[in-house]
Chain A
Amino acid sequence: MVTAINDDMFSGAAIEDPYAYYGQIRSEDPVHWNEKYNLWVLTRYEDVVWCTRHNELFSSAVFKNDHRDPYPQIDESDMGLYDDVRKFFASWFIQHDRPVHMDMRRVLHGYFTPKAMEQWRPMVKSVIKDLLDEADEQGEMDIMRDFATPLPLFVIAQMMGMPYEDRKFIRVLAEKLLFIGRGDIGRMKPLHDGIYELIDYLSPVVEERIKHPEDDFISVLADGERRGIYTREQVVSNAILLLLAGHETTINLICNGSLAFMQHPDQWRLLKEDQGDVVPPLINRATEECLRFDPPVKSIQRIAVEDVELGGKLIRKNDRVRWFISGANRDPEQFENPNTFDINRWPNAHVGFGSGIHHCLGATLARLEGQEAFKALAERYDTLNLKTKQFDYQPSITFRSLKALPVSLN
């Protein structure tokens, strides 16, 4: 029977070690009703895959259809801001269900295919080289600040056709949107500011790309408007989605993966000694294992469309359902030695990118950036020495994100 599960997902312990926290829930109550936040917490691999693949039962239109107050609670005086925030997020294509979701995603899908993304590999390699050359001059770096953050940001700015000089400014604005997954009672203000500042910044760019399309993804979205699939507001808001999703997640893949290597020097050695004789290549397997072992995205939310029986429990229509990748990726029923970081693990059907119709659109790009980042680190450095034993994570239930990762370089 259920022992004392602490339902505070934002507690220090749950944030610091989601694997222990969600692991306990997975073994004791895999379809768990979280009394504190009024939602179902799913942590079993099989359940997460089943739910993601049965999208007709679990609606993604969460912001549109969940009329409950936000959790954790916010100031009563910020409820007006929350209304605006809800409308904004509801316009994202990921917040839509079939059939509209297919139309919206299809506009972007061709831009992000594996074949199309492969063309970015040389540019990614070149940016990595520049960033690590700079770090080498210092003999040390904060992987989060100096490598994991600027790389995806630079790439996504290029993909949006934004000027290089603007990328730090874009990041400052985008960081405000990260409050969506956090528990701060005052989070609506920075969230609201971030949204409207980004809308102000991108709206003239969108106007320009409607008139003079280029080969960036804002132009692709603008074409979606021309074809009557996106409204103008949706072009701007989905550009913001791609900006945010396109870098925050990858930042965390690179940083979390780097930490995994540093904490498992035997795996680091294996990567360094790679002779290139396995298929798929060891660097690909290693990147997948980073995605499985310490995934950048912790959880995803849905709303039940109808009553659903799962694991002997009854999920009711309109119930919030949140599934935890952090739990599913360490499920012993799916993965042998799930808590072992093993870069040779193959097949590795993790759910770091989700599954089903909403499977991450940017997965190929994330994989490409991750592979090149870990490969470059392994080629350049004999060891990366952690300069801290203390790891502070952002208090988010959406992202697994280190605040800093200082290392000295050898």
Chain B
Amino acid sequence: MAGKLQVSIDLNVCVGNAMCPHLAGKTFDLDDNRQGHVIDPNADTRENVMEAAEACPVSAITVVDTESGEQLFP
């Protein structure tokens, strides 16, 4: 069974496009700078989190499977 996810956002790259809270609203919201912020990497389905990562126009989101250590995205 797949492990839990570790999700991080590179704030040097994040432009606040705000697709991620729209696609995985339990995992992502916006911080005070209106940049992406991870609330809980495992709150949404894995599919939704991956969709949000793929949808990020600047690939600011990194997703890692904690069990295998494999980087799932980018």
Q: A347-B12, A349-B12 are in contact. Are A53 and B33 (CB under 8 A)?
A: yes
A318 to chain B, nearest CB (A): 23
Q: Which of B1-9, B39-47, B50-58, B64-72 contacts A (4 or more CB under 8 A)?
A: B50-58
Q: Which of A332-347 contact B (CB under 8 A)?
A: 347
User: How close is A270's CB to chain B, nearest CB, in angstroms?
Assistant: 22
CB of A110 to closest CB in B, whole Å = 7
Contact between B17 and A359 (Cβ–Cβ < 8 Å)? Answer: yes
Tell me whether A109 is interfacial, beta carbon within 8 Å: yes
Interface size class of B (residues with CB under 8 A): 10 to 19
Q: Is the interface of B mostly helix, strand, loop or mixed?
A: loop
Min CB–CB distance A370 → chain B (angstroms): 15
* Contacting pair B34 A54 (CB below 8 A): yes
A115 at the interface (CB under 8 A from B): yes
Assembly CA distance A106 to B59 (angstroms): 17
Question: What sequence of 0s and 1s flags, for each residue 12-34 of chain B, a beta carbon within 8 Å of any chain A beta carbon?
Answer: 11011111001000000000011
Contact A114 B17 (CB under 8 A): no
Which B residues lie within 8 Å of A54 (CB)?
Answer: 34
Q: A102 near B: Cβ within 8 Å? A: yes
Instruction: Check: A144 CB closer than 8 A to any chain B CB.
Output: no
Q: Which residues of A contact B55 (CB under 8 A)?
A: 109-110, 113
Q: Could you tell me the distance in whole angstroms from the C-beta of A93 to the nearest C-beta in chain B?
A: 14
Q: A113 to B19, alpha carbons, bound, how many Å?
A: 11
Whether, in the assembled complex, A361 has its beta carbon less than 8 Å from a beta carbon of chain B, the answer is yes
CA distance A359 to B57 in the complex (A): 8
For A343-378 the 0/1 string (1 means CB < 8 A from B) is: 000010100011111011101100000000000000
Chain A residues within 8 Å of B18, by CB: 356-357
* Mask of A37-56 contacts with B, CB within 8 angstroms, 1/0: 00000000000000011100
A10 at interface (Cβ–Cβ under 8 A)?
A: no
Report the Cα distance A237→B46, complex, angstroms: 36
B22 touches A361 (CB 8 A): no
Number of residues of chain A lying within 8 A (CB) of chain B: 23
Option from B12, B15, B59 in Cβ contact (under 8 Å) with A114: B59
The answer to whether B22 touches A114, judged by C-beta atoms less than 8 angstroms apart, is no
The answer to whether A196 has its CB under 8 Å from any CB of chain B is no
* Nearest CB of chain B from residue A60's CB, rounded to whole Å: 14
What's the Cα separation between A345 and B56 when bound, in Å? Answer: 23
**CB–CB B15/A353 < 8 A:** yes
User: Is residue A112 within 8 Å, beta carbon to beta carbon, of the partner chain?
Assistant: yes
- Shortest CB-to-CB span from A240 to chain B, Å, is 22
Residues of B within 8 A of A114 (CB): 54, 56-59, 74
Do the beta carbons of B58 and A363 come within 8 Å of each other? yes
Q: Mark A98-138, 1 if CB is under 8 A from B, else 0.
A: 00001000100110111100000000000000000000000
Contact of A112 (CB < 8 Å), options: B57, B59, B74: B57
Residues in chain A near residue B57, CB distance under 8 A: 109, 112-114, 359-361, 363-364
Residues of A within 8 A of B (CB): 52-54, 102, 106, 109-110, 112-115, 347, 349, 353-357, 359-361, 363-364
User: What would 19 A/B residue contacts be, using CB atoms closer than 8 Å?
Assistant: A52-B16, A53-B33, A53-B34, A53-B35, A54-B34, A102-B22, A109-B19, A112-B57, A113-B55, A114-B56, A114-B57, A114-B58, A114-B74, A115-B54, A355-B16, A356-B15, A356-B17, A359-B16, A359-B17
